[in-house]
A and B are shown apart, each in its own frame.
Chain A
Amino acid sequence: MAEATITREHAQGLQWIKKDLLGLEELSAEEIRLLLATAESFREISLRPIKKVPALRGKTVVNLFFEPSTRTRTSFELAAKRLSADMMNITAEASSITKGETILDTIRNLEALKVDILIIRHAAAGVPHTIARQTSASIINAGDGAHEHPTQALLDLLTMQQQKGRIEGLHVSIIGDIAHSRVARSNLWGLTKLGARVTLCGPPTLLPAQVEELGARVTWDVDEAIRGADVLMLLRIQHERQEAALVPSLREYRLRYGLDEARLKSAKPDVLVMHPGPINRGVELDSYVADGPNSVILEQVTNGVAVRMAALYLVSGPPKTEEANA
């Protein structure tokens, strides 16, 4: 159990005391650094021939996804299994469980079944927060509406830190549908708390009201957002946005805001291209750029497992006495 001991030593400076991981807004810079340091120490486990440690042995973890997701759900599942937790998946069609009270009934049942950690994804903002207030189980937010997606932002931060050696002072441009993006919000909190400069870029129809008051620079001009940036984070643009008249057409969006080879030429040569996935190839991101030398999109995915292992490990609480003596 040497690996777990290493992590606990990391944690010695600051003990994680929160029951839940709901978002980066409510975390201090120190707590975010603790999560990143813990993730860094867990990364190596996934590189071993036997990818398993006993840190969460005997804990029950449930993936409760009310919205379709493949990569986040799989990433959490692998993270839990690599920590030896008992892992279960529950997927509920958003259409069959639409009322909050039904969700709460589901949660109360899971609590009665003595689940330790619930990982929740829901299309409505605040669902994990409502649930967290009403259960003693630990809640990890795996994405709530347009609000937060803390583990995504943490894996983005971890990737930037690995690639650039630091977060502080980095200039990060987040480009796309900011208004509907939980990834943008969580990254904005995480990046500003760790001292990065954030530029949010998109047409005014995709920028939420007064977002500049949250500490970001805002521009409609994608070329301006690209110039001088250390990191370009592209967000998925969804077809529904066209229906809601937020963009005239996806073609128009690609021409105005898409990151293609020509635009990439005006960026710093060592700029990182990131995307939370799934990519709309040929809309917000040209295929060449997505697969090109600046892209760290697959590193993001790999880091996702380490970050989720760290989140599961920390919210599971301090080690029990008998475990510590073992």
Chain B
Amino acid sequence: MSGANLLISGGTVVDPAAKREVRADVLIQDGRIRDIQPTIASSNGLRRMDAAGKLILPGFVDLHVHFRQPGREDKETVETGSQAAVRGGFVAACPMPNTSPVMDHRGAVEWVRQEGQRVGLIDVRPVGALTRGQQGAELTDFGELFDAGCVALSDDGKPLLNSLLMRRALEYARVFDRPVIQHAEDTCLSSGGVMHEGLVATTLGLRGAPAESETVIIARDLALAERTGGWLHVAHLSSARSVELIRQAKRRGVRVTCEVTPHHLSLTEEAVRGFNTLAKVNPPLRTEQDRLGLIEGLKDGTIDCIATDHAPHTAWEKDADFDSAPFGIAGLETALGVCATALIGPGHLTWSQLADRLAAGPARIAGLTDHGLAAGCPAHVAIVDPAAAWTVDPAAFASKAKRSPFTGQRLTGRVTTVIRHGLVVWDANA
């Protein structure tokens, strides 16, 4: 794919690899970044894009989304999911395999990849199922799934509880040098919990899932990863203690990476008060102490990346009573605004750290090489207006999910333009 030649001028380049934010122009030719210099002269045949006051970030990569297709096209499709992703600044996303049929075989994976290519907005890179039918009993054919284009394997939505099978999965995945992603939840411990076990659950009379339902599985998996040398990736961390376990394991040299969602970085159990089903999510929103622990982990690099766990549901499902409503938050279109407001505003992270966690970090885990802002890299760029204040209105989402816990919230920081392979795939002002 070759894009038009383009000069992005007057912006500030946020390069996580160089850990710097510098005023510079970016020249894009034939779909690739050709040059980055303090000033590049405009020439004939070059389209000029004014980025004064804007930040130029590498395009974001989301390791964890649910596009619901095939199976639940009423909730989302690869097409609407891609549209939501690109509006959020993402140029690549990894749909989880809990579709119907489950992405546990080549056919399903190839179909989703091809549908992503047909839509053509982002790079759709599926995560294949870890066990057949996500039943937790038999491993899938790893080699076939990786050959079909999977970036990792997971039974996301369901944890792999069988310790022996988890050991074998970590061991065997070494052949492919790819991660096994665990949705860490001891479902015996969380048994029927619909929110964090704590004061708010006690007040509302709702069944709680304790933080330990996450930490006991992480502790086990870290031991297995240490034993086998396999690559463990822990999905959507929700508790401060989980961060501490992974921090210690990384110090010991265990091969582990992990992610956190924008909602766990910005909301707590308090958001559930009033039986707010929009804040019903698994793992649940926990305490302020947990939220701060997650931010600390993101800051010191214990947490490698931000992933949205974009989990779209229909309005009628989310408008039900709390126990009946499904878990999940549609996060693609609010990710940057929520993260900038919760992390940059209060001074927790710099823009280059945020760019690393949204782009470089997840790209590394997904194995997307040459993803960055250097001459020669494919031109995948997200242009952000860091000062733009906007109000979240899910009715305007491209996603089919028209519900969000951030509805009506004022956020600072907005994606204005997204470029993929040198082509403008999203322009907020168009």
Q: Are A101 and B320 in contact (CB under 8 A)?
A: yes
Stretch of A123-131, A221-229, A292-300, A315-323 that contacts chain B: A123-131
Interface pair B205/A209, CB less than 8 Å apart: no
Return the chain B residue nearest A105 by Cβ. Answer: B316
Contact stretch, chosen from B70-78, B139-147, B321-329: B321-329
Provide the residues of chain B in CB contact with A99, threshold 8 Å.
Answer: 320, 324
CA distance A140 to B204 in the complex (A): 17
Q: Is B275 an interface residue (CB 8 A)?
A: yes
A99 to B319, CA, bound (A): 11
- Cα–Cα distance between A209 and B206 once the two chains are bound (Å): 11
- Asked if B320 contacts A130 (CB within 8 A), the reply is yes
Q: Tell me the chain B residues, 185-209 only, with Cβ under 8 Å from chain A.
A: 197-199, 201-208
- CB pair A130–B321 under 8 Å, yes or no, is yes
Choose one: B202, B205, B207, B322; the contact of A130 (CB below 8 Å). Answer: B322
Q: How far is the CA of A128 from the CA of B167 in the complex (A)?
A: 46
Residue of A nearest to B210 (CB): A209
CA–CA, A208 and B202, complex, Å: 6
User: Across the interface, which residues of B come within 8 angstroms of A209, CB to CB?
Assistant: 197-199, 201-202, 208, 210
A264 at the interface (CB under 8 A from B): no
Contacts of B207 in A (CB 8 A): 146
Interface string of A38-55 (1 = CB under 8 A from B): 000000000000000000
Nearest residue (CB) in B for A130 is B321
Query: CB distance A100 to B204 under 8 Å?
Result: no
Q: How far is the CA of A77 from the CA of B275 in the complex (A)?
A: 28
Partner of A210, one of B202, B274, B321: B202
Is A103 at the interface (CB under 8 A from chain B)? yes
The interface size bin for chain B is 20 to 34
Quick one: given A125-B275, A129-B274, A209-B198, are A100 and B320 in contact (CB under 8 Å)? yes
At the interface, yes or no: B317 with Cβ under 8 Å from chain A? Answer: yes
Instruction: Using A125-B275, A129-B274, A209-B199 as known contacts, say yes or no to A104 and B204 having CB atoms under 8 A apart.
Output: no
Could you jot down 7 A-B contacts, CB within 8 Å? Answer: A100-B319, A100-B321, A100-B323, A126-B206, A130-B319, A145-B205, A147-B205
Q: Is A148 an interface residue (CB 8 A)?
A: yes
Q: Verify if A252 is at the interface (C-beta below 8 Å from B).
A: no
Which of A90-139 touch B at CB < 8 Å?
A: 98-101, 103-104, 122, 124-127, 129-130, 134
Which chain A residues in 209-223 approach chain B with CB under 8 Å?
A: 209-211, 213-214
Query: Which of A122, A126, A129, A134 has its CB near the most chain B CB atoms (within 10 A)?
Result: A126
- A270-307: contact bitstring with B at CB < 8 Å (1 yes, 0 no)? 00000000000000000000000000000000000000
B198 and A126 form a contact (CB under 8 A):
no
Whether A197 sits at the interface, judged by CB under 8 Å, is no
User: Would A144 and B205 count as touching, CB distance under 8 A?
Assistant: yes
Q: Compute how far the CA of A27 lies from the CA of B232 in the bound complex, rounded to whole angstroms.
A: 50
Minimum CB–CB distance from B240 to chain A (whole Å) comes to: 17
Q: In the assembly, what is the distance between CA of A309 and CA of B203, in Å?
A: 27
- The yes or no answer to A82 lying at the interface (CB within 8 A) is no
Cα distance, A213 to B203, chains bound together (Å): 10
Interface string of B268-292 (1 = CB under 8 A from A): 0000001101000000000000000
Cβ-defined contact, A124 with B321, below 8 A = yes
Query: Cβ of A147: which chain B residues have Cβ within 8 Å of it?
Result: 204-206
Contact B321 A126 (CB under 8 A): yes
In the docked arrangement, what's the CA distance between A25 and B203, Å? 9
A146 contact set on B, CB distance < 8 A: 205-207
Known: A126-B275, A185-B205, A208-B201. Contact between A101 and B322, CB under 8 A? no
Check: A236 CB closer than 8 A to any chain B CB: no
Could you mark each residue 62-91 of chain A with 1 if its beta carbon is under 8 Å from any beta carbon of chain B, else 0?
000000000000000000000000000000
A125-B323 in contact (CB<8A): yes
B317 nearest CB across to chain A (Å): 7
B316 touches A101 (CB 8 A): yes
Measured in the bound complex, the distance between the Cα atoms of B10 and A16 in whole Å is 62
A124 and B322 contact, Cβ closer than 8 Å, known pairs A101-B316, A130-B275, A209-B197: yes
Instruction: Using CB atoms, name the residue of chain A closest to B274.
Output: A129
* Residue A182 CB within 8 A of the other chain: yes
